[in-house]
Structure 1
Amino acid sequence: MTTAPLRKDAARNWHRIVEVGRRMVDEGTPIQLNDVARAAEVGVATVYRHFPTPEALLETLAVDGLEALVERAFAAGDPWPALRDLLYAGVDAQITDRALAPVFAAPVDALPRTTELKRRLVGRFGELLGRAHAAGAVDPAVTAADLMPLMCGVIFAAGVHPAATTAERAATARHYLTVLLEGIRRRS
């Protein structure tokens, strides 16, 4: 389905709304559409016309990161490095883009594009884990259902760590993920 291009003023408003939403997410401020309208200096109806819910705006902010992770997930490689590298990319992305973690954690998606990207990513993750199991690189008792909450735990732990900068939080998350991966890896 294609949509008609936005008029110049509507496109300008859309970009202003997205910029304000990005700033709020980066600052850790919850997205309230009335606050977004005020900060973007547009009417509340304008914000709701573009983004009917705060979740729709949040998912719009996260789409670039989701697309990059899906692209990364389909990069070729040996089973263990491919799985490991995808998990590191996922941790890095969630630490550097604060829109991603809540979008991953949401039980329901506001936008069909988000649902599609998450479906592809989770499917590929399962394939990579299956390949790693088949290669004997990962403990066969470890499932995708095990790893998903553990990954959330790594992100959470890195987020509450007293690191001052995004780079320090990313390094902490990578360290925690390394500990996790060493625990699930099978050795010959």
Structure 2
Amino acid sequence: MGHPVILVTMTTAPLRKDAARNWRRIVEIGRQHVDDGMPIQLNDVARAAAVGVATVYRHFPTPEALLETVATPGLEALVAHAEQALAGNDPWAALRDFLLTVVDAQITDPALPPVFAAPVNALPHTAELKQRLVELSGRLLDRAHGAGVADPEVTKADMLPLMCGVIFAATVHQDAAAARASTARRYLTVLLEGLRKTPD
């Protein structure tokens, strides 16, 4: 399944047509490298994109900047899903469906796990999206707590390591992407059963 490519540049100035075309080609090659499990090396990307090395470095000064750009559509989709979940009427279903979506995204988009795990972000937009996800997921958990449907002892600080544990457990012994996705959803369902409470 292909991944959308969006035009996010290192500056706010619009790109000329040729520069925009080069940008898109570089991001497409970066996407291919990530999907194929290859590390992003900017010199290799330049060669595969048939552009000069200086052109690549002008758009993306580090491999991390290119990786984060590749991951941006996935991050934005998760933010949109969380915002939509908050608009729902069922606090438990909203939290459950959002966490399932996060797990599915991290299993199916190999650009997301390293970006989520990185302690430092190369692009301000990445930092904004990650912070927004933390805020939205916290609000979803708070709402579930308020409705009495989530264990109050499970805090927002607990959720990230718990989700990382699900992803790790699903990927450590699974080769096929479909098997990893199915296993991740099964493990997350077990976690959710432990998190869920019946309202008083």
Q: TM-score interval w.r.t. the shorter chain?
A: over 0.9
Aligned to 1:73: 82
Aligned to 1:7: 16
What is the correspondence of 1:1-188 to structure 2 with a 5 Å cutoff? 3-75=12-84, 76-77=87-88, 78-164=90-176, 166-188=177-199
Code of the residue aligned with 1:173 in structure 2: it is A
Which consecutive residues of structure 2, in runs of 5 or more, have no partner in the other structure? 1-10
Cα distance in 1 for residues equivalent to 2:104 and 2:97: 10
TM-score (norm 2): 0.88
Q: Deviations over 1:127-183 (max 9, x none)?
A: 11111111111111101111101111211222223242x222211111111011111
TM-score (norm 1): 0.93
Cα distance in 2 for residues equivalent to 1:62 and 1:10: 21
Cα distance in 1 for residues equivalent to 2:108 and 2:137: 21
Cα distance in 2 for residues equivalent to 1:3 and 1:146: 37
Deviation at 1:5? 2.4
Please give the root-mean-square deviation of Cα atoms over the aligned residues, in Å.
1.4
Secondary structure in 1 aligned to 2:198?
coil
Cα distance in 2 for residues equivalent to 1:9 and 1:180: 49
Cα distance in 2 for residues equivalent to 1:173 and 1:56: 28
The runs of at least 4 aligned residues of structure 1 exceeding 6 Å deviation read none
Code of the residue aligned with 1:46 in structure 2: it is T
Deviation at 1:23? 0.7
Cα distance in 2 for residues equivalent to 1:127 and 1:97: 25
Code of the residue aligned with 2:161 in structure 1: it is P
Identity rate, percent: 74
Secondary structure in 2 aligned to 1:74?
helix
Secondary structure in 1 aligned to 2:174?
coil
